[in-house]
Chain A
Amino acid sequence: MLEEQLPIPEPAPAPLPRMVTTSHIDWLILLPIVGLLMFSVAFVYSASASFAQVKFGSSEQLFWNHALRVLIGMGLLLFCAKLDYHFWQRSTASIMLIAIGFLMVVFVVGVEAKGASRWVRLGPINFQPSELAKYAVVFHTAAVLSQRSAIVRTWKNSVVPVMAWVLPVIGLIALQPNLSTATVIFMITMVLMFLADVDLRHLGVIVAAGGVVGGIYAVSASYRLERILAYLNLGSADAPVRYQIDQALIAFGNGGITGVGPGQSRQRDWFLPESYGDFIFSIVGEEYGFLGVSLLLGAFVLVMWRGYGVARKAPDAFGRLLAAGITTTLALYAFVNAGVTCGLLPTTGLPMPFISYGGSAVFFSAIAVGTLLNISSQAGVWVRSRPEKL
């Protein structure tokens, strides 16, 4: 039986509140970085205690230094996250000039360490100009290349100005001598030019030239050759470099899957040289095992993925290139350092960002990540809508 259905009257729609979209910094970049900074304090303490005990009479000496730097680094990071990244666009040339100035100062008053002058004493801290130069190159190259693509694709307007700035920096760093940093800066510049849509033929010429020069340079000093031979397993077994790699591998292997436990490292007891610096990743591997280093690398992978995400979505070309440059720098350093300590790459003296004990590296990395966070806040990668308050 059919009954005519009575139409049910639609309820009158309630008036929708106006939605407001707000853009945040990318938490998935901030959280892993803050995590790395926090854990680095524990890592550095563990890895440096034996060394500091003998060297300074207190096992906590390097720990407190590092903790203070991490604290300052956090402040810088948060400050730069609030600072509009376009602030940098106008001043990159001056920063480059300052960086080049410091690189020259190193030759005059630099602190000798392990056969190279890489530091300048600035008051209480050891200032490493190459750390500043690295980010200066990223910032400035991003600024130079953030023009209309038609201009970028000409040799005269892209390759020439970029290389005119970057080559002196690379040259000065290579003369310190610090081949690995020079090489990495060169590679970062190439990546930025590639991303900025520079003509691939131009790029090919530069890479080929750089490869030839770098190759000659690499075999021109005995310690560099030794490192390469050690990597290729050709060097003598008792060369100091081979020893360092072997000790790093023992650290990893001794850690196994779950590690020997926080603070239980034995390799830091004068077995592994530079255990708190370039080789701190091995100590992490020893104490926290395969699971620990996987988590640590996972944090970097997350930052890399989100960072490139920011680079895709940044509102302008400078933001895109800057985000990509900063992300590339962090990821490359992390990859090279991890690759070196586990014997995948030849030994180089690159620190693990945010983890290794070091003078000024933490500060510059913090400024860079802060800037990346600021770009992310303008890129809309983390959007949240909420009703407008009435």
Chain B
Amino acid sequence: MQTDPSSRPYDPITWKVGIMIMFFAVAFGAVGARLFWVQVIEGARYRELARKQYESKVELRAERGRVFDRSMRDVATMMRVTSFAADPTMLKQPELVADLLAMADGRPREWYLDRIRNHKGRFVWLARSVNTVMYPLLDTMSDPGLIRVREPKRHFVYGPVAAQIVGTTDVDNNGLTGLELQYDSLLRGTGGFVVMQRDGRGRLRPSVNPEREAPRNGLGLQLTIDVEMQRVVEQELERGVRETGAASGTVIALDPATGDVLAMASWPSFDPTRLDRATTDAIRIRGITDMYEPGSTMKAITAAALLEERRIAPDDPVDGLGGRLDIGGYVITDDHPLWRTTFRKALEQSSNVVFASSTRLLDDRVLYKYVRDFGFGIPTGIDLPGEVRGRLKRPNEFDPTTKRFMAFGYEMSSTALQMVTAYAAIANKGVMMQPRVVKAFIEPGGRVRNDVRVQTVRRVIGEQTAAMLTNMLTGVVDRGTATAAAIPGVKIAGKTGTAKQLVDGAYSSTNYTASFVGYYPAQAPRVAMIVMMDRPTSTIYGGTAAAPVFRRIVQKTMTMMQLDADTRDRIAASAAADTVVVPDVRGLDAPTATGVLQRLGLRVDRALQAAAGTVQQQQPAHGTRSLRGTTIALRMTSARGSARPDVRGFLLRRAIAALHGAGYDVRVRGSGTVREQHWSGDTCTLEAR
């Protein structure tokens, strides 16, 4: 039963409900107004705040520039490595992952399974910095629990060769030592960025049209170093240090005409991939960071001054005083005492007495000028970090005996690089060149950005004086103290040095620096080189501790200069090992097999080289080691018709090649190595496993 509203009695609830309606109308109105303020009037400000928290700039790393040797062989490249981690709760195929990692990373598969199974959290590292090139499955497999972190890493193609020169970087791409430090800003390139979308937990995902700036990869360096020569130098240096029992050693080889450093090694050295294990002793480039009192190698500089000033000629008579010269209480002695002789002979026999007394012919200033002009006491300015200037007294600091001691390499000190640069100036007809290790800067694409200019430092002595000096220095090797450096057929000019080291302010009778510095071929020098042994023990003389190392390096590198790259490789390889692993040439045709074997230094009977058919058997078998020059006996299948090749035991593709080569058709079952073969007419069916 409905009541007519108008007839109802007064009910307070009606006006009180009106109050409630008004209250809520105002309340919702206020909310609406507030929303209008936030969304419409202040909207732009909040949208900006929103954009800021949604976007995240992700850095794109530039690839570090590569390092090439002077023939553009890769020395230090970039390798893409992958680090693997797992989310054990999400991993679908732990066994497969463990198997693949065991292959690629080298630990037993149980080790990985252990880590996956016994880890409580959701992130566990499995393998760091794995090169996955050989294991594409690791790269492509899409297990939701497998986490990959890709990063570029320096790869040293020649391992530790030239490690000190090339230098190292830290994980963040900062150059730490060597050229990596010197040219860090060029090598590192400039990073770019891409704007990614992020969520409240910091997870990133790509934007649709991301704002991005591509990274610019670093410039590459073309070194003046010849990596093959460097390799030989390092090997021979190490051998020399071992044989002489020296504490350390340094070898530097320069091209006198350009100042190019062809090789620069010091021992001990280190593995650039394991910088954490290396000591500072092993990292520093001793040729520029360590000073030593050079001793007799300075006599060539004194001789240069005397000859250039026309004070003496090579064949002028001098007096060796029987190997004793008393100067104000100190006696200078000679190991090979001379009496009346010639200046040339005095140099050959390295007479301290003659050189000390000859300085009476030179003013302090004049001697100082020549020594300084040859680059002593001044940094050479080579583009490597850490070079020291050496020590050279100014004429006003000279005391009465300084000149006489300086004449044979005391009361001053120099670096190995300063010394070899000075000799290179003599070799270069008296003109000193600025030594350098970087020849050119290479753009990421491989084009040369710009060449580093060859820089002449100054003319030090005249051409004639240089020729005279070269002539005298060849005598040192031919007849004098450095006969151990002589090589039949190659004229070498050089000088030995055997210097006492200062220990606690006094000259030691046990600690010596033995060195040999010279250049070859003397007629038209291509290489100037210094070999320096620090504190050798089995023999102390430059002529016995350093000269043989010089000789062996020359012997092993001499041929490289004129020969093509391929031959140089073979000679360099032969210096390392005289045996090779015999390859599998079965199934190849005769010319191909011959080529493969000859490239490795193995021989093939001339009659077989052009034979028809394919190789059926070889002796010695593949995988064995053989001396280079060994003749490999091959048994050929003749062409089709005469014999059906027996390909059992061949790799499948090799077997197919052999059969096709012999003109037969092939059917294949399975893969791997051929186990069985069946003939039906001209078709051969292979069963492989």
Q: Which residues of A contact B (CB under 8 A)?
A: 21, 23, 50, 149, 191, 194-197, 249-250, 252-257, 266-267, 269-272, 285, 289-290, 293-294, 297, 300-301, 304-305, 308, 311-313, 315, 320-321, 324, 328, 331, 335, 338-339, 342-344, 380
**Contacting residue for B16 out of A194, A252, A300, CB 8 A:** A194
**Contacting residue for A301 out of B25, B53, B199, CB 8 A:** B25
Q: Which of B32, B34, B35 has the most CB of A within 10 A?
A: B35
Stretch of B39-47, B404-412, B464-472 at the chain-chain interface: B39-47
Task: For residue A295, give the distance in angstroms from its CB to the closest CB of chain B.
Answer: 11
CA distance A328 to B17 in the complex (A): 10
Asked if B200 is at the interface of the complex by the 8 Å CB criterion, the answer is yes
Main secondary structure of the interface of A (DSSP, over half): helix
CA distance A197 to B32 in the complex (A): 31
Q: Are A301 and B24 touching (Cβ within 8 A)? A: yes
Q: Are B21 and A290 touching (Cβ within 8 A)? A: no
**C-beta contact mask, B334-351 vs A, less than 8 Å → 1, else 0?**
000000000000000000
Q: Which residues of B contact A311 (CB under 8 A)?
A: 13, 17
CA distance A380 to B47 in the complex (A): 49
CA distance A343 to B42 in the complex (A): 13
**Contacting residue for B2 out of A21, A256, A300, CB 8 A:** A21
Task: For residue A258, give the distance in angstroms from its CB to the closest CB of chain B.
Answer: 10
Q: Which residues of B contact A289 (CB under 8 A)?
A: 39
Q: Are B5 and A250 touching (Cβ within 8 A)? A: no
Q: Which residues of B contact A (CB under 8 A)?
A: 2-3, 5, 11-14, 16-17, 20-21, 24-25, 27-28, 30-32, 34-36, 38-40, 42-43, 45-47, 49-50, 53-54, 199-201, 203
Q: Are A335 and B24 touching (Cβ within 8 A)? A: yes
Q: Are B35 and A285 touching (Cβ within 8 A)? A: yes
| Closest partner residue, chain B, to A294 (CB atom) | B32
CA distance A199 to B185 in the complex (A): 86
Task: For residue B413, give the distance in angstroms from its CB to the closest CB of chain A.
Answer: 62
Main secondary structure of the interface of B (DSSP, over half): helix
CA distance A75 to B255 in the complex (A): 97
Q: Which residues of A contact B2 (CB under 8 A)?
A: 21, 23, 315, 380
CA distance A148 to B473 in the complex (A): 135
Q: Which of A255, A285, A289, A321 has the most CB of B within 10 A?
A: A255
Q: Which residues of A contact B13 (CB under 8 A)?
A: 195-197, 311-312, 320-321, 324
CA distance A267 to B198 in the complex (A): 11
CA distance A293 to B35 in the complex (A): 8
| Tally of A-B Cβ pairs under 8 angstroms | 122
Q: Which residues of B contact A257 (CB under 8 A)?
A: 39-40, 43
Q: Are A338 and B50 touching (Cβ within 8 A)? A: no
Q: Which residues of B contact A343 (CB under 8 A)?
A: 34, 38
| Closest partner residue, chain B, to A339 (CB atom) | B31
Q: Are A252 and B39 touching (Cβ within 8 A)? A: yes
CA distance A311 to B11 in the complex (A): 11
Q: Which residues of A contact B3 (CB under 8 A)?
A: 315
Q: Are B12 and A271 touching (Cβ within 8 A)? A: no
Q: Are B47 and A254 touching (Cβ within 8 A)? A: yes
Q: Which residues of A contact B21 (CB under 8 A)?
A: 304-305, 308
CA distance A250 to B54 in the complex (A): 11
| Closest partner residue, chain B, to A289 (CB atom) | B39
| Closest partner residue, chain B, to A149 (CB atom) | B12
CA distance A185 to B34 in the complex (A): 25
CA distance A304 to B17 in the complex (A): 11
CA distance A254 to B16 in the complex (A): 40
Q: Are A250 and B50 touching (Cβ within 8 A)? A: yes
Known: A197-B12, A266-B50. A253 touches B35 (CB 8 A): no
Known: A315-B3, A331-B24. A271 touches B32 (CB 8 A): no
Q: Are B36 and A290 touching (Cβ within 8 A)? A: yes
| Closest partner residue, chain A, to B8 (CB atom) | A313
**Contacting residue for A297 out of B16, B20, B28, B46, CB 8 A:** B28
Q: Are A290 and B24 touching (Cβ within 8 A)? A: no
Known: A266-B54, A270-B201, A342-B31. A256 touches B20 (CB 8 A): no
Q: Are A342 and B34 touching (Cβ within 8 A)? A: yes
Q: Which of B25, B27, B40, B45 has the most CB of A within 10 A?
A: B27
Q: Are A253 and B39 touching (Cβ within 8 A)? A: yes
CA distance A21 to B39 in the complex (A): 47
Q: Which residues of A contact B45 (CB under 8 A)?
A: 253
Q: For the A-B complex with A285-B35, A335-B28 known, give 9 more contacts whose Cβ atoms are closer than 8 Å.
A: A23-B2, A195-B17, A253-B50, A270-B203, A290-B36, A304-B24, A315-B3, A331-B24, A335-B31
Q: Which residues of B contact A304 (CB under 8 A)?
A: 21, 24, 28
Q: Which residues of B contact A294 (CB under 8 A)?
A: 32, 35
CA distance A290 to B33 in the complex (A): 10
CA distance A74 to B234 in the complex (A): 87
Q: Which of B16, B38, B43 has the most CB of A within 10 A?
A: B38
CA distance A151 to B386 in the complex (A): 104
Known: A250-B50, A312-B13. A195 touches B28 (CB 8 A): no
Q: Are B43 and A271 touching (Cβ within 8 A)? A: no
CA distance A255 to B46 in the complex (A): 9
Task: For residue A129, give the distance in angstroms from its CB to the closest CB of chain B.
Answer: 27
CA distance A311 to B24 in the complex (A): 15
Question: What are 14 A-B pairs at a CB distance below 8 A?
Answer: A191-B20, A253-B42, A253-B46, A253-B49, A272-B200, A285-B39, A308-B20, A308-B21, A315-B3, A320-B11, A335-B28, A343-B34, A344-B34, A380-B2
Task: For residue B634, give the distance in angstroms from its CB to the closest CB of chain A.
Answer: 64
| Closest partner residue, chain B, to A344 (CB atom) | B34
Task: For residue B123, give the distance in angstroms from its CB to the closest CB of chain A.
Answer: 16
Q: Which residues of A contact B32 (CB under 8 A)?
A: 294, 297
Q: Which residues of B contact A266 (CB under 8 A)?
A: 50, 54, 199
CA distance A300 to B46 in the complex (A): 27
| Closest partner residue, chain A, to B53 (CB atom) | A271
Task: For residue A332, give the distance in angstroms from its CB to the closest CB of chain B.
Answer: 8
Q: Are A290 and B199 touching (Cβ within 8 A)? A: no
CA distance A253 to B41 in the complex (A): 9
CA distance A320 to B11 in the complex (A): 11
Q: Are B16 and A342 touching (Cβ within 8 A)? A: no
